[in-house]
Chains A and B, each alone.
Chain A
């Protein structure tokens, strides 16, 4: 049960990186941190997930909820540094087609 979420916002640009595991235990921590920003208009968010070793469907739910709320306010969410396992999760769920995601370089994202 460990997760580390670092978020910094500057001029409506949200930058962040997440480390650890995102599962049913840790997802509430991530959700709470992201929720602080989701009401902003036109937020440009980029989250680096290269430090995420594991994510299950609960974690996916957190990102989709965040994606939906900032999209509804004219913002944009980009997720970067996805491991091949995470990339597969986004692809299977069809989210890879609608969300802006980027596989980690050299992590076998293709």
Chain B
């Protein structure tokens, strides 16, 4: 125990004993924070107290001194608990650094490149609610007029979900073709996920393949939120439904696929449930709200549309999105 601390304590204590003012108490409170910073244990504080009282009032009865000795013994375990807490805090700090590193690795590993196709304008926004994103977007493009897109949501969070995503990515890479059909892609990934992950982790995934030459979008869904189709001609919205079980539940699952031909100005809006499951104080954000937001910006580039939807939904939820948010817009130019 540094001597200056002991001297300071004695002085502060003496002031308080003489006059029990708020001010004197406040000085003591501040001093206790300094003691914590200096790693002074509770039992040391009591020893210090005993020594200070001894100097100030040497004629106190023995019973007082014995009681301090007893109190010091009582406090030793508190001191140990404090030490443990400090080492946990340090460990937590280290884990945080590791998580940051892992999040960076995930970002690099899962990077995807927006395809560039004639007559197709793509907007994309994916914002994680926490450090690790449980949503996953992957584009497959061979520069031959086809572009595949996978929008996936891993149910289960954190590190295991991130590892699961890498598995999806490598599954997609193994198919290695932008021509691959949704039912085949979903079937392959389903078998990979079913074999490899534990019982409480599943993936929902929407897969679409766009053929720019024919302006045809072929899509399939594995238990994913239906994509939205906007028809510029009629100004109407509809859901692109496709039956299919979540990935990883049953190896026997089979997946449907359907096609739509896109006309000029038509849009396909793909998303995760972080977009549709938003809640405000009044209740859930209904799909109509999302339709309205898209309509407000329908003449703008795809990226401006996704940004607008995000900004508005975030505003409605007081800037507190509970879930990862991913939105992709394919707009036929």
Contacts and interface: CB of A to CB of B under 8 A. Distances in A.
Contacts of B201: 61
A92 B253 CA distance: 14
Interface stretch (B68-76, B151-159, B168-176): B151-159
Contacts of B124: none
Nearest to A25: B322
A61 B323 CA distance: 15
Contacts of A85: 284
A95 interface: yes
B199 A95 contact: no
Interface in B239-267: 243-246, 249-250, 253
B148 interface: no
Nearest to A63: B200
Nearest to B284: A85
A84 to B, nearest CB: 12
A12 interface: no
A6 interface: no
B325 interface: no
A68 B157 CA distance: 20
Contacts of B219: none
A39 interface: no
B202 A61 contact: yes
Contact of A61 (B155, B244, B277): B155
A60 B24 CA distance: 57
A57 B249 contact: no
Given A56-B273, A56-B323, A60-B155, A95 B246 contact: yes
B226 interface: yes
A32 to B, nearest CB: 12
Nearest to A93: B223
A3 B204 CA distance: 25
Contact of B253 (A23, A24, A54, A94): A94
Contacts of B222: 94
A92 B199 contact: no
Contact of A98 (B204, B226, B245): B245
B204 A93 contact: yes
B239 to A, nearest CB: 10
Interface string B264-280: 00000000010001010
Nearest to A67: B249
Contacts of A79: none
A67 B155 CA distance: 16
A52 B284 CA distance: 15
Contacts of B225: 92
A64 B273 contact: no
Contacts of A64: 199-200, 202, 246, 249
B224 interface: yes
Interface string A1-43: 0000000000000000000000110000001000000000000
Which interface residue of B200, B253, B277 has the most chain A CB atoms within 10 A? B200
A38 B181 CA distance: 38
A64 B157 CA distance: 16
A94 B155 contact: no
A60 to B, nearest CB: 7
Interface string A81-110: 000010000001111011000000000000
A58 interface: yes
B245 A65 contact: no
B223 A92 contact: yes
Q: Specify which of A31, A64, A69, A95 lies most central, judged by the most chain B CB atoms within 10 Å of its CB.
A: A64
5 contacts: A61-B155, A62-B200, A93-B245, A94-B249, A98-B250
6 nearest A-B pairs in the assembled complex, by CB-CB distance: A94-B245, A93-B223, A65-B200, A65-B199, A57-B155, A61-B155
